[in-house]
Amino acid sequence: MRDNPLWGLILIFLPLSLLSVGGGPSILAGMQNQVVEVRHWMSEREFIDLFAISRAAPGPGVLLATLVGWKIAGLAGAIVASLALFLPSSLLYYAVARQWNAHRGRRWHTALERGLAPIAAGLILAGSIVIIETGGTRPLLLAIAAVSTAILLWRPKLNPLWLLAAGGVAAVLIG
């Protein structure tokens, strides 16, 4: 039982699921620590490769967990790792969200919603700053982020995929 890699994946991702307050970054850091440093399932280099793949693909970055599961135990590993990471936190969040929405229209609910709006807005902006910093504050990348923001504010209807492609091409040609 102890040596079964699927069991090991559950033991890593289940607690991460419920401890990962703050979302993505806290999950990724915890995952790296467990998979590379504690369990030696892969080298730092291999983990960075998986991270690079998850960044190249669309979708949430935490799908890195699916990749780790895949690497350790194939398809079963991918499924087990994904379920272990997403299920517990999702059940908890769902229970809270349901309660939250059930009390819609109450005075305290309205006040909470209004009070949370600047918190959420602040967290989005703070998150953007943190992502810019971790992506490296190279002038070129900062410029791409700034230009992309300006264009999206100016032309909200423009399909962002064009901007993303242009950002990628600019980074290759100029960088």
Token pair of 102 as six digits: 């059930």
Q: How many residues bind other proteins (CB under 8 A)?
A: 97
> Cβ of residue 12: shortest distance to other proteins, in angstroms?
15
> Is 112 near other proteins (CB under 8 A)?
yes
User: Which residue's CB is nearer to other proteins, number 38 or number 52?
Assistant: 52
Measured CA to CA in angstroms, residue 27 lies from 13, 22, 30, 83, 90 at distances of: 9, 8, 5, 14, 14
Chain residues 45-74 in contact with other proteins, contact rule CB under 8 A: 49-50, 52-63, 66-67, 70-71
- In terms of Cα–Cα distance, which of 136, 144, 134, 135 is closest to 165? 144
> Is 29 near other proteins (CB under 8 A)?
no
> Is 126 near other proteins (CB under 8 A)?
yes
DSSP string, 41-63: SS-HHHHHHHHHHHHHSSS-GGG
> Cβ of residue 13: shortest distance to other proteins, in angstroms?
12
The span of 5-13, 33-41, 90-98 binding other proteins (CB under 8 A) equals 90-98
The span of 6-14, 36-44, 146-154 binding other proteins (CB under 8 A) equals 146-154
- d(C-alpha 129, C-alpha 137), whole Å: 10
